[in-house]
Structure formats: structure tokens, C-alpha cells
Amino acid sequence: MRFTIAHRTRYRYPTPVHESHTICHLQPRSDITQYCTRYELSVSPRTRVFSYTDRFANDVQHFAILPEHDMLEVVARSQVVTARGPGTAPAPLSRALVDDDPMLDELYDFLVESRYVKFSVELDALLAEVGTPGREDDVVAWFAHASGMLNREFVYDKTTTSVQATVEESVRLRAGVCQDFAHVLIALCRRAGIPARYVSGYIHSGDDEMLGAEASHAWAEAYLGPRGWVGIDPTNDSWIGDQFVRVASGRDYRDVSPVRGVYTGASSSVMSVDVAVDALSPQQQQQEQQQQEQQQQ
């Protein structure tokens, strides 16, 4: 599938601020499952934007605005082609093959606690409900079971948690948004000894009603030995397919927050975010391909 994505983040300050420094994780990844054909980042007030690749292989932009300003707007526009096919479950895999995988020593960061993924008594009680896979159990089925349990037992509610919510808070409330669902599933995996990481991106609803499609989305990936990193969206209880666009991955939300920064001045700000994910129809894709071919001639 081919998508066009527009992501606008705007901050308004009650009094002018200065010396603002901002980091952005907004550029979709290019790998064997998707390809970012176009990406541009515009900033107002205008400034020079720099780029680097972080420790998790994410493409990151950063910039500074030193003069006083009472508004900051960051707009990312992307075009992405996905080639995953429909989201389907991988073939069954015993837990023993994950435990014995030589890569585990390199995945320590995804097995332990992180900023937003903390172990707690509440988490252990939830894991007892889900169950812990034994060495001969199918870990793919367990991953799907854990996602399904969160989807059924937790309520998707934008009013219950904040962007700083921890796993303990989400489990206690049994509610939250896609960020919270992903964090809880990651915590369950890590507590069960299975490496797991947080993925940020977008989801396109298409003809189906998908929660989280109107904003940035998040899901979880577990490292399943020979299967590699396998993604599932607990918010919609769906394996990751063509309708998902991957942007960045890390230990939790802190590593991949779309826009994050600091500034000198006002103690508060008002943030608004608008996201639009549109899929090109087959006719539009054909027209685009013809235009590209004409440009190359």
C-alpha cells in the first residue's frame, strides 16, 4: 500500500520563550517491509534542521530556535510504501528456541525495566492472569493471547491517562490509549523473559474502524528467536500488516516520542497535534508511476 502522511505539532506559549531545543522522531523507517519515498520537515519559526541516526537505528531530526517566539510549529510530510501483506500470525515457535537464541545477550535493554516500563506487584498479578509460557509452549500463541487479553480487559479511553503514565498506573486503571496498551504488553513480555520493544508509527483504518488511526499510533514487538522481531497491536488486537507505517522503535515511548524539547521562558504551553494518513487508490498510484516515468524520460 502507498500512503501520504501529514503530521503537524504546534506549541503555543502564553509569553514569548527563547533558546528552544527540539528533537523529532517523525521520519518513517525504510527497511524490507516498507520504504519511505519522500520526507520533508518544516519548522516555524524557520531554522536549520540537523539529522542523525540514534542507537536504535532511528532517523532523528533536531533543531534550535534562539530568538524569542510565542509559537512553534513542526510539520512532517511523508510518502511511504508498505509491503508486508495482511497481518498474519507467524508459524508456531517453542519458547525453548527463544531462550536458546544467541542474540539474547545483545538484547538486554529490551529485557529489563525502562523509563515507562516498570515491574510491579500489579504487573505480576496481571501476568498471573495471562500465564507465563513454558519452554515447550508456543510463544507466538502466548504473545497473541496476551495481546487479546489486554484488548478485551482494558478500556481504550483518552481521558484516563497522560503521556507520562506508567505501566503500574495503566494496569491499576485497566484503561488508557495505544501508548499504554503497548507499554503493558511490553512489560508482560519482559517480565516473562521475552525481549520486547516499543514501536511508534501510524495506522490507516481503510474500511475498518481501527482505534488510534486519528493520531500517532504505537504497538509492541517481541523478539521471537528464529522469527526475529514480531509486531502486534494490542489496541486493536491485530498483527502488523500493510495498514501500519513504522516510524521508530526503542525501549519505550521516551526513546521515540514524536516531538520533544526544552526551552527557556514560560512554565507552560498548549500543544495541539493533527495527523492525516491517506492511502492512494490504485488509480492514483498508476498516475503517480506514469508521472515518475515521464520525468525519467
Residue 24 has pLDDT above 70, yes or no: yes
Name the more confident of 290 and 172.
172
pLDDT at 197: 98
pLDDT in tens, 138-171: 999 999 999 999 999 999 998 888 888 889 999 9
What percentage of the chain reaches a pLDDT higher than 90?
Answer: 81
pLDDT over threshold 60, residue 292: no
Note the pLDDT of residue 25.
98
Predicted local confidence at residue 284, as pLDDT: 62
For the chain, domains (ranges, CATH) are: 2-82+256-296 (2.60.40.2250), 95-254 (3.10.620.30)
pLDDT at position 165: 87
pLDDT at 290 over 70: no
How far apart are the C-alpha atoms of 293 and 178, rounded to whole Å?
A: 40
pLDDT of amino acid 162 = 80
pTM: 0.91
For residue 218, pLDDT over 80 is answered with yes
**pLDDT on residue 9:** 96
Q: What confidence tier does 214 reach under pLDDT thresholds 50, 70, 90?
A: low
Lowest-confidence pick of 20-34, 63-77, 260-274: 260-274
- 38-62 residue pLDDT tens: 999 999 999 999 999 999 999 999 9
> Virtual CA dihedral for 250, 251, 253, 254, nearest 10 degrees?
-90
- Range with the lowest mean pLDDT among 126-135, 156-165, 178-187, 261-270? 156-165
The pLDDT value given to residue 295:
62
pLDDT at 10: 96
Q: Is residue 75 within 8 Å of residue 7, measured between CB atoms?
A: yes
* pLDDT: which is higher, 211 or 85: 85
Is the pLDDT score of 92 beyond 90?
Answer: yes
